[in-house]
Every structure is written in structure tokens, then in C-alpha cells.
Amino acid sequence: MIRLSNVTWRYGSPTRRVAGGRSADPATALSGVTFSVPQGGFRWLLGPSGAGKSSLLRLLHLEALPQSGELEILGTHVGVDVKRATLARLRQRVGMVHQDFRLMPTLSISDNVALPLRLERRDEAAVADEVAAILRWVGLSERSGALPAELSGGEQQRAAIARAVIARPGVVLADEPTNALEESQSSRIVGMLREVSALGATVIVATHNDALVRRFPAPALRLERGRLTTDESSTP
Amino acid sequence: MSEARGRRRDGLALSRALPDRSLLAMVAAMSLLASLTYAGAVGARALSSRWAAGAANLVTVQVPDPEKLPADTVSGSAASVSKATAHGDGASSASSALPASQVEKQSGGQNAAKPDMTRAAAIEAVLQASPDTQLVHRLNASEIDKLLAPWLGAAGASALPLPAVIEVHLFHSAKLSADTIASIAKIAPGSLIERNDAWRVRLLDIARSLLACAALAILLVGAIGAAVIAMATRLGLGARRESIEILHGLGAVDGYVASRFARRVAGLSLAGGMAGTLLALPPLAGIARLMAPLSGGGALNFGSGETGFSIAETMTALTTLWGETPPALLWGLGVVPFAAAFIGWITAQVMVRVWLRRLP
């Protein structure tokens, strides 16, 4: 479960101001954002470039902390006073898929996918079984020994999804995961994320691909200039 | 074991991220300096202790008119003795005149002197009879000539009325008793007894100063080593910034990343420390050879003790270094690689944890 209440987040110093600017401070990435997503819910996160989609996902992935308002992820209240160890533990339960994949270039696909389990110090035999199963699910069993550079964009994104979900996180976030991918690959990626949601994880996918949103209808959160303008959470 | 293998496959690839060779070389150089400094301190301490002990146990007695008969047998008059303590720039005398009756009472060792002896021989006999003395040696004419040669030349000493000089080696921490001093005063009034306590104090002060300098030098070497390691760690952090951010995003705690860096840096520092310590052994063996004549044999006595080096003698010195070097030096040299590893470990831990603070 994710819950935000009147969350504000600014880049850099919170006192920064631009004289004679527009109504919203350019340093303010998110302003007064309030919404919640239940466990197992799937949400599209929509909005034009610079609307604050990536900033919101950074907050939800705990790469930044809100300067005001309340943020609760998987039952844990996240504020500026939260301990670093708590944040690290919480991050292990939040899977993240980036548009640029962020795979370790020196590691094979199987080692990349195994990273979250190894950070949890799981037994290597169990890690091998889990990796084999998840690579079968994303269709990369035969490429397990390859380096990321040897894979296509779609394959790398599937590997990134495998890494994001292998530890069975409670929340999965995806930032433009189908960017620069072919239509068929995009559909396959979103199909996998819907499966993850159906298995009980809360999933939020940021995109500006309207065709994809129409193909996979789901409630949407729409951001404009850092403010939440639409929340279709009431939509079944 | 498998967990450790798994840790190594986390994408940090620190063997390529850290400047291994230069870090190892720098730590080796620092360890070499630390080893030599420490060995120098131990050597200086050992030599000063030896010299101080020698100075403390040596007493020189100068007997005026040595060939005359003892004063008490000639006149029976009052005797006096001058006691002096050397202060490096000469001897200052503090004469004390004792009434004959009192000297007679105090005199205990005079029985050793026979009536027909000269003053010098009588005092020599008294000193030999004392339970505090280990060795009594009266300098002969050629020894006195050699002693005065710098001032009077090769043939100048024989024409002068010189006092007899008697070297007395006391047992450890022993002193000439009041009875013996009184006997000397009675036999030859105006005798000068010169003790070397002041030299001992000065030598110990020098040793303490050298030790303080060595400690400061070792601290500085440690600090420079830590700075070098800190810079290397920063280079490694910069090279692996993206990988660290990925691991951080996957939930790696600060301790995990810090430990990975610290283990690698500590390993390199340990290897560098061992290399530096091993490199210090040949020069130490050479110095030990040079010090052999000064140390009077024993612990640091290697080879012939003559100046000049030969590979064979240095190798001999190296092979015997283990068995004959003072334990404090061996322990110290053994500690150097581990100290280097600890400095590396703690520096890397601090650097990485501080760097990670920029990430939430």
C-alpha cells in the first residue's frame, strides 16, 4: 500500500525562489500531492515531460524524502527523521524499473537478476533456483550468461523487470519502461507488470504512451506542474 | 564461502576500480619508512641504555703523588678527599675535610693496604677489597700517554707529575661506600673521585628525545598513509558511482558497500605493509652490522663489524636477524603490516560511509 498526503518536494534548497516567475516555483517538483494505492493496485502515472512523474517515482523509491506532508509505504511512515537502515530495508521491498535499465554492465544477466537476493544474503543454491525460474518467466533462460550489452533493449528491460520482482517486493515502480521499445515489446513488458500486480504487488507505471494506456486500461494518476490533477483511483 | 562468492558478483569490481598498484606501492613505501624509523628508535634506545649503564657503573679515581707513601703513615694528619661529578664540560669538585679521628672511625677497607705500599697501590688494594667493585684497573703509562696525546702530543706526558688514574667498574647499581671513600681520603688527601651519573642522565634524555621524534615520525607516516588511502578510496568511489547507486537503490545498506571497499583496501594495505617491512630488512641488517662494534657484541653483533658491505655478510646478518634481534624490534616489525591494514580498513570505512551520506 502507498499513501501520500499533501506531499511537497523541491529540488535543492527549499527556500530557493525565482523572481517574477510563474505561479509554481521552478524548484518545486511536487506540490500538495495526495493519493493512495491499495495493495495489488495498478496505476498509470501520466503527464507531460517535466510534470513531476520521475520526481514522484524517486520519492516512492526513497531516493529522496518529502520536505513536507506524509508518505507511507507498505505500512512504514517515511519522513526526514527515518533511519537509513530502515530506508534500506524498505528499498528491498520496493522494486524499480528504469527506462535506461540500469543493469550492471560487468555482470551477466543472471548475476544482475540475482543481486537483490544476494543483498539479502540468501543461500546461493536458493538464489540459483529463483533466478532460473524468474528468467524462464521473462523468457531469458537462454541468455542468462550474456552481458547486458549483448542483449536488445527489450531483453534488457525484461531483465530489469526480473531483477525488480525477484525478491517479491510489495511495490513495483516503472519509469517509462517502454520508452524506445517496439510496440510488441512494450505490450509484453506491460503484460508482465500487470501479472506482478495480479500477484499482489502495488504497481505504478509512468508513461506518456497513450496507445499503451488505451490497450491496458487501468486507473490513472495525472500530474501537471507538480500537482496531481486527476486521480482515477475510484475507477474499479 | 558461496556467500562470499556472491558478494564478489555484485558489480562493484573493486579490483578494477581501485588504483591497486599505486596504492600498494605507496603503502609499501610508508611501511618501509615506518619500519626503519621504528628500528632506529629501538636501536637508539638499546645503545643509549647500554652506554648509560656503562657510564653509571664506571668511577675514575685520580691519585695525586701516587708513588709517595700513604699520608696516614707519613703524618697521621687530617685527610681530605675531593669528590667530583662529571657534567660533560669538566669536573666540579666538592672537597670535604674530615678530622683524622673521624676518618679513622669510618675507615674499613684500609686493612687491605700494606704499610710499604705506595699511595696508588694502597688505594688500588682498598678498591679491590670493596664488595661493590667488579673490576679495578690502574692505567699504565702508555694508556695515560694515549689519553693525553690529543693535548700534549706523543712524548709530552712523561715530563709532567701526573696523578695515577684508576678505573673502577662497579656492580650494577652499586656505589662506592662511605668507608671506601674515607679510606681513599686518608691514604691520599686530594684524591679526585669522578662519577659519570650526569652522562647517564644526558644519554637517557637523548634516548627519550629520539624516541619522541620516532613516535612523531611514525604518526606522520601513518597520517600520510591514511591520506593516500583516502584519495585512492575516493577514486574508487568515483569510478563505481553508478554501480553503488544501483546497489543502494536495490536496498544495499551503507555497511555492505563500506565493508566491500574496506576489505579490498585492507587487503592491499596488508600486502603493501608486508612488502615494505620485507624491504626494510636488508638495510636493517646492514645497520645492525655497522652497529656491532658500538653495541659491544651480543644482540646486534653481526659479521665482522668492519666497515663496508658484502652480500654474503648481509645475507648472514639477514638469516640471523630473526634469532638475535631484540624482541621489541621483531614485534614492532611484525605489527607494521597489520597496522597498515587496520589504517586502510578504517580509512575506507569512514570515507565510504561519509560519501554514501549524499544518498538518502
pLDDT digit string (tens) for B45-74?
A: 777 777 776 676 788 899 988 888 787 665
Per-residue pLDDT of A146-193, as tens digits, reads 999 999 988 999 999 999 999 999 999 999 998 877 888 889 889 999
CB–CB of A115 and B10 under 8 A?
yes
Q: Which residues of chain A lie closer than 8 angstroms to B5, CB-CB?
A: 124
> A58 — contact with chain B (CB < 8 Å)?
no
Does A107 contact B5 at a Cβ distance shorter than 8 Å?
no
Burial class (CB in 10 A: 0-12, 13-18, 19+), A80: exposed
Note which residues in 141-180 of chain A have CB less than 8 A from chain B: 163
Confidence of residue B348 (pLDDT cuts 50, 70, 90): very high
In the predicted structure, residue B148 carries a pLDDT above the cut 90: no
Interface test with A, best of B16, B250, B253 (most A CBs within 10 A): B250
Residue with grid cell 526526514, as numbered in its chain: A80
Most trustworthy range by pLDDT among A56-60, B179-183, B187-191: A56-60
Q: Are residues B342 and B218 in the same domain?
A: yes
**What secondary structure does DSSP assign to A33-100, as a single string?**
EEEEE-TT-EEEEE--TTSSHHHHHHHHTTSS--SEEEEEETTEEE-TT--HHHHHHHHTTEEEE-TT
Per-residue model confidence (pLDDT) at position B114: 64
CB contact under 8 A, B11 and A116: no
- For residue range B254-278, list pLDDT tens digits in order: 999 999 999 999 999 999 999 999 9
- pLDDT, residue B111, reads 56
Task: Please indicate, yes or no, whether residues B185 and B82 belong to a single structural domain of this protein.
Answer: yes
How many separate domains does chain B show?
Answer: 2
Of B143, B161, B189, the one marking the end of a domain is: B189
SS3 at position A158: helix
Cell of A141: 533462460
Locate the chain B residue with the closest alpha carbon to A86: B253
User: Do B158 and B213 reside in the same domain of the chain?
Assistant: no
When pLDDT is cut at 50, 70 and 90, the band that residue A46 belongs to is: very high
Q: Establish if B194 belongs to a structural domain.
A: no
Q: Which residue of A lies nearest to B2 if distances are taken between CA atoms? A: A124
Yes or no, beta carbons of A119 and B2 under 8 Å apart: no
Q: Are B269 and B340 in contact (CB under 8 A)?
A: yes
A-B contacts at Cβ under 8 angstroms: 72
The last residue of one of the domains, among B160, B189, B218, is B189
Same-domain status, B114 and B36: no
pLDDT at B112: 59
pLDDT above 60: residue B22: yes
pLDDT confidence of B157, banded at 50, 70, 90?
low
Fold exhibited by the domain A2-7+29-231:
Rossmann fold (3.40.50)
Closest Cα in chain B to A82: B360
Highest mean pLDDT among A14-28, A195-209, B182-196: A195-209
Measured between CA atoms, the residue of chain B closest to residue A101 is B246
- Interchain CB contact of A63 with B (< 8 Å): yes
Q: Are residues B16 and B72 in the same domain?
A: no
User: How far apart are the C-alpha atoms of B249 and A63, rounded to whole Å?
Assistant: 7
Out of A64, A90, A107, name the one closest to residue B9 (CB): A107
Q: What band does B147 get if pLDDT is binned at 50, 70 and 90?
A: confident
- Mean pLDDT (chain A) is 87
Task: Note whether A87 contacts B: Cβ–Cβ < 8 A.
Answer: yes
**Residues in chain A within 8 Å Cβ distance of B13:** 106
A96 vs B contacts (CB less than 8 Å): 249
**Confidence band of A22 (pLDDT split at 50, 70, 90):** very low
Which of B134, B154, B189 is the C-terminal boundary of a domain? B189
Residue B239 near residue B352, CB atoms below 8 Å: no
Could A115 and B3 be called an inter-chain contact, meaning their C-beta atoms sit closer than 8 Å? no
Q: What is the mean pLDDT of residues B97-103?
A: 34
pLDDT on residue A15: 37
C-alpha cell at B19: 588504483
| pLDDT (0 to 100) of residue B40 | 84
Q: How confident is the model at residue B100 (pLDDT cuts 50, 70, 90)?
A: very low
Segment B307-322 mean pLDDT:
57
Could you tell me how far CA A12 lies from the centroid of its own chain? 22
Residue B56 lies in a domain: no
A123 neighbourhood in chain B, CB within 8 Å: 2-3
pLDDT, position B194: 82
Mapping DSSP to helix (H, G, I), strand (E, B) and coil, where does residue B283 land?
helix
What percent of chain B stands above pLDDT 70? Answer: 71
A116 in contact with chain B, both atoms CB, cutoff 8 A: yes
| Closest to B302 measured CA to CA, from B37, B49, B293, B281 | B293
Say how many C-beta atoms besides its own lie within 10 A of residue A139's C-beta.
14
Is the model's pLDDT at A57 over the cut of 80? Answer: yes
B220 assigned to some structural domain: yes
Is B55 part of any domain? no
The answer to whether the complex's ipTM is over 0.90 is: no
Identify the pLDDT of residue B319. 58
Chain B: residue whose CA lies nearest to A127: B6
Assess whether B208 and B348 both reside in one domain.
Answer: yes
- Identify the domain containing residue B317 by its residue range: 2-50+201-356
Q: Do residue B127 and residue B170 come from a single domain?
A: yes
Which of A124, A129, A147 best tests the B interface by mutation, with the highest count of B CBs <10 A? A124
SS3 of residue B151 by DSSP: helix
Q: How many angstroms separate the CA atoms of B320 and B302, rounded?
A: 8
Confidence at residue B77, expressed as pLDDT on a 0 to 100 scale: 40
> Is the pLDDT higher at B102 or at B155?
B155
Nearest to A106 among B11, B359, B360 (CB): B11
Task: Indicate the Cα dihedral angle A3, A6, A10, A13, nearest 10°.
Answer: -120
Percent of chain A with pLDDT over 90: 62
- Test the B interface: residue of A94, A106, A130, A168 with most B CBs within 10 Å: A106
Residues 20-39 of A with CB under 8 A from B: none
Structural domain boundaries of chain A?
2-7+29-231
* Candidate from A132-136, B28-32, B41-45 with smallest mean pLDDT: B41-45
Percent above pLDDT 90 for chain B: 27
Judging contacts by C-beta atoms under 8 Å, the chain B residues touching residue A107 are 9-11
Q: A87 vs B360: CB contact, 8 Å cut-off? A: yes
